[in-house]
């Protein structure tokens, strides 16, 4: 089956050029998630489920890049590599976990990079962008290995704003409760604009609880196709419908004693909302075509960027399900309302990229810091992660300038530290002083902490403070 997907209009992440990407992957749900993410990033994307379909689409669609799974229903993706390479198409292969031989063979045959499954979508996007923009940058198995190691690092929840502190406190409390009793854990609803970190919070919550070694099952309700969603969630018995050749547990069952994360819950069709409510209330699930009910022990976390309350008033979301989900709510404010977190996050993503690609240490110039603080980040933390990672990858100098960030010009300065820079009429010196003062304020005059916020050494911090006559 060929599925054709048109290019996206929603572009929270700005890319230099629009490229065509062909995804060759037989796992339909995973493929949907990848396509959705790539479209969101502004790529034109098509999906083939087999070698046969891929060959057809190569001719019709003429992609710039192919994301190629190795194990396909009609053969090994590696068989297609020489054909694609001969057509000057960039290939990124996706290999099964631990299958290094496939990756090495693919690189030998001309693939530009490889990713090991399970694949982190943000990681995939970063690799695509890197390969899209810098053919001259060394693409080696070495950095891919480093990347793999880092991808498995524990989840980090960065931020010191009041909102983030409140989220952390709530998570600590839930983790304490989960350690105290085996009783059913309260449902958590995480709300906030796209890219604000709802997924990170869900993973952090799971990682903080006693059952962190149990599965974390992420269900993207928006990318589940309507015809598959019910059987994917609830599972099925053999023969329950035409293609049900075997009995299968659903995603709810797969979460076992771990966490079931229902992402974009606002997109769940109304009919299934009733079934989900039943699962939440009775903590039992029944596979399609089965008479037997099975208990559900998983903690349930839901997330949405929609206003579920308004949706329920308009009859588009069941109000009983809304109240059932809304036991503990964590509201993720947009990044523009978390000015205290902005520089912390920027430095975190800078360091993360340097570490991941074994790059030397960079610093942001004072005007770059001002630009980061001023920009409104419509795509929130996700947009920042991409902008900063790209700037670090592209910048050949030790200091990342405002220009390297490639952020749009900001017309006016918001309140807070940037306003101080405004007063200083945005001279380089004024901007630097404003950033130092802002970091010291955030760090409550702790010089070492302020230096860390700005990503500079304590000595450099002291030197710059002296230069501007700042004492604490």
Question: Is the torsion defined by CA of 250, 252, 258, 259 positive or negative?
Answer: positive
Task: Give strand pairing partners of 331.
Answer: 191
Instruction: Report in angstroms the alpha-carbon separations of 171 from 71, 207, 265, 294, 351.
Output: 39, 10, 20, 28, 26
Residue 383 in the binding site for ligand ATP (CB under 6 A): no
Interface stretch with ligand ATP, choices 139-147, 180-188, 190-198, 451-459 (CB under 6 A): 190-198
Q: Which two tokens stand for residue 282?
A: 């009775």
CB of 120 to ligand ATP, least distance (A): 8
Q: Does 381 bind ligand ATP (CB under 6 A)?
A: yes
Between 49 and 199, name the residue whose CB sits nearer to ligand ATP: 199
Which span (134-142, 192-200, 237-245, 443-451) binds ligand ATP, by CB under 6 A? 192-200
How do 65-69 and 20-24 pair as beta strands?
Answer: parallel
- Encoded one letter per residue, x for contact with ligand ATP by CB under 6 A and - for no contact, window 107-146 reads ---------------x------------------------
User: Cα dist. 240→204, 243, 246, 291 in Å?
Assistant: 37, 8, 9, 11
Q: Could you give the string, one character per residue 230-249, with x where binding to ligand ATP holds by CB under 6 A and - elsewhere?
A: --------------------
Q: Is 373 in the site for ligand ATP (CB under 6 A)?
A: no
Which residues pair with residue 217 across a beta bridge? 260
Question: In this structure, are residues 92 and 128 in contact, taking their beta carbons and an 8 Å threshold?
Answer: yes
160 scored as a contact of ligand ATP (CB under 6 A): no
Binding to ligand ATP by residue 198, rule CB under 6 A? yes
DSSP string, 272-335: HHHHHHHHHHH-EEE-BT---EEE---EEEEEESS-HHHHHHTTSS-HHHHHHHTTEEEEE--G
Q: Which of 63, 195, 258, 366 is close enough to bind ligand ATP by CB under 6 A? A: 195
One of 149, 156, 329, 427 touching ligand ATP (CB under 6 A): 156
Nearer to ligand ATP among residue 64 and residue 199 (C-beta): 199
Tell me if 342 contacts ligand ATP by CB under 6 A: no
Question: Given candidates 2, 158, 207, 328, which one binds ligand ATP under the rule CB under 6 A?
Answer: 158
Check: CB of residue 420 under 8 Å from CB of residue 438.
yes
**Peptide bond just before 258 cis, omega within 30 deg:** no
453 lies in the binding site for ligand ATP (CB under 6 A): no
> Between vectors from CA 133 to CA 128 and to CA 139, what angle results, nearest 5°?
65
Q: How far is the CB of 142 from ligand ATP (least distance, A)?
A: 23
Q: Does 413 bind ligand ATP (CB under 6 A)?
A: no
CA angle 407, 413, 419 (to 5 degrees): 125
| Partners of 23 in beta bridges | 47, 67
State which of residues 63, 159, 266, 333 lies at the interface with ligand ATP (CB under 6 A).
159
CB of 126 to ligand ATP, least distance (A): 9
Please identify, among the stretches 84-92, 250-258, 359-367, 377-385, the one whose residues bind ligand ATP according to the rule CB under 6 A. 377-385
CA-closest candidate to residue 125, choices 224, 216, 8: 8
Residue closer to ligand ATP by CB (options 223, 438) is 223
Stretch that binds ligand ATP, among 43-51, 156-164, 248-256, 447-455 (CB under 6 A): 156-164
Alpha carbon 143 to its chain centroid, in Å, reads: 20
**Which residues contact ligand ATP (rule: CB under 6 A)?**
122, 156-159, 192, 194-200, 263, 305, 381-382, 385
């Amino acid at each position: 089956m060929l599925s054709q997907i048109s290019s996206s209009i929603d572009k929270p992440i700005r890319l230099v050029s629009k490229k065509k990407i062909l995804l060759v992957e037989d796992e339909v749900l995973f493929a949907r998630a990848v396509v959705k993410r790539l479209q969101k990033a502004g790529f034109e994307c098509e999906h083939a489920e087999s070698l046969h379909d891929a060959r057809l689409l190569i001719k019709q669609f003429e992609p710039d890049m192919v994301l190629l799974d190795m194990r396909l229903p009609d053969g090994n993706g590696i068989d297609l590599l020489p054909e694609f390479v001969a057509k000057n198409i960039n290939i990124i292969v996706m290999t099964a976990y631990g299958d290094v031989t496939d990756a090495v063979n693919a690189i030998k045959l001309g693939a530009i990079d490889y990713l090991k499954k399970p694949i982190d979508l943000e990681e995939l996007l970063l690799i695509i962008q890197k390969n899209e923009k810098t053919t001259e940058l060394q693409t080696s198995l070495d950095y891919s290995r480093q990347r793999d190691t880092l991808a498995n690092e524990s989840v980090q929840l960065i931020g010191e704003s009041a909102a983030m502190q409140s989220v952390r406190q709530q998570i600590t409390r839930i983790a304490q409760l989960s350690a105290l009793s085996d009783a059913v854990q309260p449902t958590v609803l995480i709300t906030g604009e796209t890219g604000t970190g709802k997924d990170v919070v869900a993973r952090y919550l799971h990682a903080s609880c006693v059952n962190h070694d149990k599965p974390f099952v992420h269900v993207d309700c928006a990318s589940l196709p309507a015809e598959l969603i019910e059987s994917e969630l609830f599972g099925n018995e053999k023969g329950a419908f035409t293609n049900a050749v075997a009995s299968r547990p659903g995603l709810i069952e797969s979460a076992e004693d771990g966490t079931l994360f229902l992402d974009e819950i606002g997109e769940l069709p109304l009919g299934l909302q009733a079934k989900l409510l039943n699962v939440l209330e009775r903590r039992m699930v029944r596979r399609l075509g089965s008479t037997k009910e099975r208990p559900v022990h998983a903690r349930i976390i839901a997330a949405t960027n929609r206003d579920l309350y308004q949706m329920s008033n308009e009859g588009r979301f069941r109000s009983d399900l809304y109240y059932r989900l809304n036991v503990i709510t964590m509201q993720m404010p947009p990044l523009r309302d978390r000015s205290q977190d902005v520089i912390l996050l920027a430095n975190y993503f800078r360091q993360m990229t340097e570490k991941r690609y074994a790059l030397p240490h960079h610093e942001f110039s004072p005007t770059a810091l001002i630009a980061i603080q001023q920009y409104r980040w419509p795509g929130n933390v996700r947009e920042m992660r991409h902008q900063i990672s790209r700037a670090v990858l592209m910048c050949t100098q030790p200091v990342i300038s405002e220009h390297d960030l490639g952020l749009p010009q900001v017309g006016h300065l918001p309140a807070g530290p940037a306003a101080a820079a405004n007063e200083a009429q945005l001279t380089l010196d004024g901007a630097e002083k404003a950033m130092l003062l802002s970091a010291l304020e955030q760090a409550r005059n702790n010089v070492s902490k302020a230096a860390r916020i700005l990503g500079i050494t304590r000595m450099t911090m002291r030197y710059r403070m002296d230069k501007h006559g700042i004492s604490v």
